Structure formats: C-alpha cells, structure tokens
Chain A
Amino acid sequence: MKGRFMKKIVTGLLASSLLVGMAGCSGDPGGSSASGKVELKIGTWAGAQELKEFQGIVDQLNQQSKNYHLTIQSIPADYYKKIQTMAAAKQAPDLFWLSQEYIPMYAELGVIAPLDEYIKGNSKLNLDDYFEGPLQVGKVNGKLYGLPWINQPVMLYYNKTLFEKTGVELPKPDWTWEDFEKAAIALTKDVNQDGKTDQFGTVIDGWPPVALWVWTHGGEIIDKDGKVRMDEPQAIEGIKMFHKLINQDKVTPNKTQAQNTGGPEMFKTGKVAMFFGGAGDDFEKQVGNAFEVGMTKVPHATTEATFSWIAATVMSNTTKNKPVAAEALIDLTNAIRKWKILPPTKSGLGHVADIRPEKAYAVEIMTESSKVSRGFNNQSKQNELDTAIWQELYEPILLGKKSPEQAAKDAANALRKILGQ
C-alpha cells in the first residue's frame, strides 16, 4: 500500500516538474522590473575583456537613466546564427549590434524597427554630426534603422623603417595608384637571395575588398538604387589596376601563403611593406620597437574613397516599449563612441587621442579618411552578392584565371541574376 502511494507521489512530481520546466521556457522580453524601469536586453558579440568594458558602460547608463535598465546578452561566438534563431522565435534582444551588410535584410524582413519617429526631437542625438558614409548604411528605403557606433575606414599602413632602408619615398596622402604601384614594385624583393621573393610591397588575399579599387576609379559595384554597375568602364579601370598589382607586378604573396600566415602577421613581421588595415587596428602597439609604423590615406585614381567597416545598434521590432528602447539606443550609441575607434561622428574624433594615445599621430589623416569613407550599398541579399563577387571575380583574379574584363562581366552577370535584374 505504502509502495503504491509513493509511486503516485513520484508520478505526480514528475508530471508537475515537466509542466514547470515548460512554463519556464516562455520569457517576457521588454517587460518592466520591480523598480518601474523598462527592462531591456542588448545583444552584443563582445566577449572577454571587451565585454567587461562594455559592462562598465552599461552600468553607468543604468545608474543615470530613470526609464530603462539594460542587461547585456553576450554572444561572442556564432553571433548571427544565434540572433537569427532568437529572432525566428520572436525572442531577439530589444537592442542589438549589426554589421552593415545585415541591416537591409533585417529591415526588409521586419525583424528590426525604423527609428525615425522615436528619435525625433531627442536632444542627445545630432544626426548632422555623423559622417555621411556610416549614417548611410543604417538607412533602408529612406528610413533609419540603425545608429552606427563604429566607422573603421581602411587606411594604408606602412613600415617606415623598411621604406627608408630600401630608399623608397614614404607614402603620401595624395598618392595615386600608380605611385603606390611604383613603391610596391620597389619593395618586393628576394632579400636572402634564395630565388624566392620574401619581401612584398603589399598583401591582397581576399582582403581588402575590390570595392577599394572600383570606387577610387569612380565606379560602383551596385549603386544606391540597387543597379549592378560592375561591368561599366570606371569599375573595369579599377579592376584592371587590382589585377595588375596581383598578376603583372606580383607585389603580393600568393593567396595560400598570405592566408596561412595572415596578412596582418606578414606586415607585423616586416615581410610586407604596406598593409590595408582598419583605422582602429592595433599595429602601433603590437609592432612595438621592431619598426616604425606610418599611416596614410588609401591611394586613389579619379575619386577619393575608402571602404569602411561599420556596425550599428538596431532595435528589435518585438520590443514592447519602443520609445524607451530608442532612448536607450541613443544613449548607448553615444557612450560607445567614447570607447571604440573610430567614432562615426565628427565630434567623436576629438576623443581618439584619449582613447588610444598611440593613434594620436594620425588623427588628422583618419579624419580625412572618415570624410570619404563608406560602406557598400548593401542589399538584402548582401551575403550572396559577396560570395558571387568572390567566386566570379576576386578569386579567379587572385589565381590568375580571368582577365579583368571577363571577371567584371561574369561578376556583374552573377550579381544581376541574384538581384533578378
């Protein structure tokens, strides 16, 4: 009798624990806490030290605000996969970071909300202070979906010591691609005379994007209206220079070698004289006393431009209190600008020397670059487009398998196919 009774109790407990377990699965995003503040989650890919610093910023904002309380949701690995899964389950964080290429897709799918009506009249936000390039990537169909917090224009880093040793004139901000080419050829050498080149002018191995050459020759890959223009004359001019540096001048190590060693590593160890790197890259510190690092603008032909890595904070469409979430988004983005370099705003560049003193020497040139920096004219199928450019143009040129004209034509056709043009 006792045994049977125990069995019933155990059965009951099992069943109820299952129910409790299931009930625990449904969360309540964007609800209010006991303190009356709106509870908000901010999704970030920051991890480790970066996360600690970010926590400091969030703590300070939480103290200052009467309206919201932010909690960090750190996703240091597989960020986009997790955000995708969370968004599919309508559980996306109220605010989260997105790299530029994801913004149009998230906007068109309705995962993120336009900010325009919520930011209107917020005195803490001055859109005129933003550089045009970074602000542009947050816009989709005329509406603002993301507020950029970082703008990392590609700069031309160079090994001053190596230039002086080889007797080549140092790079200048007004360099054309021909000047760059000449220097790169002079710096590509077989130093130990074993028949193999072991010092290179630059490194092109999938990075930097071919857009750097297309844009600086006045061309476009895809224009603002979404039209493919990669096979137009200006774009082809740029691709020709890209092709020439790789296949005719041979001023870059081969792709496999560069990817195995890593382009930045090759620059840091003095095997590469000029490197296209983000303005915030940590070369000055990492190189230490090994050689002197210099930085200038990316060379140009007809147009000054540089590609920029841009990330923005966006607001989930499922967040419950959009006005408060937008307020938190503005505060947060403003605060990050005093933490990350380069800030996407004109006034923010004033902080660069405080944030990273070793970059103080280049503030002026970084400001100049920020003015001409831009992202892609991102499309909702941006990832597919990037793959097509790699498959039809970049890689075949790296491997010397296509002429610039052919590569441009094939890539343009592939892009049109994806976009249905």
Chain B
Amino acid sequence: MKKLKKYEGFLFISPWILGFFIFTVFPISFAFYIGFTDWNSFTEPKFIGFDNYIHLFKDDNFLNSLKVTVVYAIFAIPLGIISSLTIAVIVNMKVKGIYFFRTALYLPAVVSGVSIALLWRWILDPDYGLINLILSYIGISGPNWLGDPSWVLPSYVMMAIWGAGGGMLTYLAGLQEISRSLYESAEIDGANGWVKFRHITLPMLTPVIFYNLVMGIIGAFRKFNDAYIIGGAGNQGQFYMVYLYENAFTYYKMGYATAMAWVLFLIILLLTLLVFKTSPLWVFYSGEVEGTKNKPNR
C-alpha cells in the first residue's frame, strides 16, 4: 500500500509526462532519424546515411538561401538593436505626451505579421508605393524594391527596422531600472550627456542588449512569414526557412527538409554559444559589482 502511494504522484502528473514524451521527446528523436532518410512522408522512410547532409552543400538553392539569411542577419540584427535602443532612449525622456509616442512606436509589434507583409508589399510598390512617392518629391526615382534582386535584401532590412519598436520595450524597462544616483554622481563630476550614455546607460543596458542579440539571431535565422508572403526577385527573398518549407511541403522531401532543420539548429546553437562565451567580455551585470567586486572595498 505504502509502496503504491510513492507512485501516486507520478500518476497524477502522467498526462504531462506523457505529453512531454509524445509531443517533444519522440518528435525530436524521430526527426533526428528522418534527417538520415529519403522520405516523401507518404511511404516508409529509406535510410540513406549522410546523403542529405552531403547533398545540402552541393545544392545551389540551399547555399543561396543560407547566404540570403546570413546577409540579412548581419545587417538586420545590429541595425535592429541600434534602432530599438535609440527609440527607447528617446521615449524614455520626460516629455509631454510621451505615452502616445511609446504606444505608436510599439504598434508594429501588435499587428499580425501577415498584414504587415501585405502592407509592405504596397509601400514598396515601385509605381504606387509610399516610399517611391516620397522619393519622387525630392527628385529621386526610387528602385523597383522587391522586383530588383539587388534591392530585395535592403527592403527586408528596412522592414525589420520598422518593427524595431517591438524590441524597444525591453530596453525601456532596462533604462528605467538604472538608478538615478549613478547619473547624479556623474553630473557632479561634470559628465555631459554623451559621456553619461557611453559610461552609464550603455554598460547598464548590456544585459538587455545581450538578450536582444540572442533573440535577434534566432529570429533572423527563423525568418519566414513575410518572406513567404512577399518573396523577392531573383531568389533573394528565399530565406532559409522558406526553402526548408518548400522542400517539406511542396517538393515532399521531408528527409532533406529535416536535415536542413538540423543544420539550422546547429548554426543557431553555435552562434548563441559564441555570444554566451563572449558575454563576460562585454555584458555587465550590476549585481556582480555590488555583490562581489565592490564589497571588499567597502
């Protein structure tokens, strides 16, 4: 009787344990296997060893999608961080009506990705689009954004920056956490605005930047929604996930697509690890200072 009672607890959480095994552990292990097979999802998977992974690096479309995604990430992530941070610093000012601007700047994060994509398709229209209209007022004949292969990626980077208001929120929270006393003591020492930003605001915000960098890397490599809807000339809108999706659901190459997913997982894992490894060099946790370094001196 007593022995049985020991297991009662497990029985109670069994729906969750089962859920974890059925919906998480099993699919992941199955996907690991599928990556080594030729599988159209209809018939039995055929084991082919590393063929999928070898073929990946001979596949021009794969290499193109990887290149598109990496180039996008290189530009979109830093620019996104800089613009989110700038917006946050601006809306952190004590100005009348600032709540209105905060809300307005955050709006892009609330709208569904699909509607944003459709909206941008219009904004980027070479003949009737908003951007080229404004450019025409100052005598510039705007490019055929999504229709010209060399302008497709800049268009995507621009769209990403437009959504920077979404990232603003975490920076804003970080900014408001910074103690006034730090600024006050700097002011007494005669620090100007830039010096205060460079030596107080920025270091104090590095944990938030770190968080946004990691999320930004994951987000950039997983880019799908707008790319799937908008596309882009000359394959320049074919991001990694779009090509993966096409392989799985249009070409029925489930094994190949799964191999792509594992490669993507490895890329994201390595980059995230890299960021984590370098973080002691540039991420500053105020808790550390108060807790360890400063204490002996007090």
Q: List residues of A whose CB falls within 8 A of some B CB.
A: 7, 11, 14-15, 18, 80-81, 84-85, 87-88, 105-106, 109-111, 196, 254-257, 260, 381, 383-384, 387, 391, 395-396, 399, 401
Contacts and interface: CB of A to CB of B under 8 A. Distances in A.
Interface string B240-275: 000000100111100000000000000000000000
A392 to B, nearest CB: 10
Interface stretch (B8-16, B67-75, B78-86): B8-16
Contacts of A401: 234
Contact of B11 (A11, A109, A257): A11
B128 A260 contact: yes
Contact of B14 (A18, A105, A109, A384): A18
A14 B14 contact: yes
Contacts of B146: 256
Contacts of B149: 399
Main secondary structure of the interface of B (DSSP, over half): helix
B8 A109 contact: no
A254 B144 contact: yes
B235 interface: yes
A18 B16 CA distance: 11
B18 interface: yes
Given A18-B14, A196-B127, A256 B147 contact: yes
Contacts of B197: none
Which 4 pairs of residues, A with B, have the shortest CB-CB distance? A256-B147, A109-B42, A88-B41, A383-B250
- Interface of A (DSSP majority class): helix
A395 B235 CA distance: 10
Interface in B1-53: 8, 11-12, 14-15, 18, 40-43
Given A18-B18, A105-B252, A256-B144, A399 B126 contact: no
Contacts of A87: 41-42
Interface size class of B (residues with CB under 8 A): 20 to 34
A88 B42 contact: yes
A381 B235 CA distance: 20
Contact of A387 (B18, B144, B147, B246): B246
A11 B147 contact: no
Nearest to A259: B121
Given A84-B41, A84-B252, A399-B234, 7 more contacts: A84-B42, A109-B40, A110-B43, A256-B126, A260-B125, A399-B149, A401-B234
Nearest to A10: B12
A196 B141 CA distance: 13
Contacts of A7: 8
B225 to A, nearest CB: 15
Nearest to A381: B251
B121 A260 contact: yes
B8 A15 contact: no
Contacts of B12: 11, 14
Nearest to A261: B128
B127 A254 contact: yes
A34 to B, nearest CB: 33
Contacts of B125: 256-257, 260
Contacts of A110: 42-43
A183 to B, nearest CB: 24
Contacts of B145: 256
B247 to A, nearest CB: 9
A35 to B, nearest CB: 33
A391 B235 contact: yes
Contact of B249 (A81, A257, A381): A81
B109 interface: no
5 contacts: A14-B14, A255-B147, A256-B127, A383-B250, A399-B147
B200 interface: no
B148 interface: yes
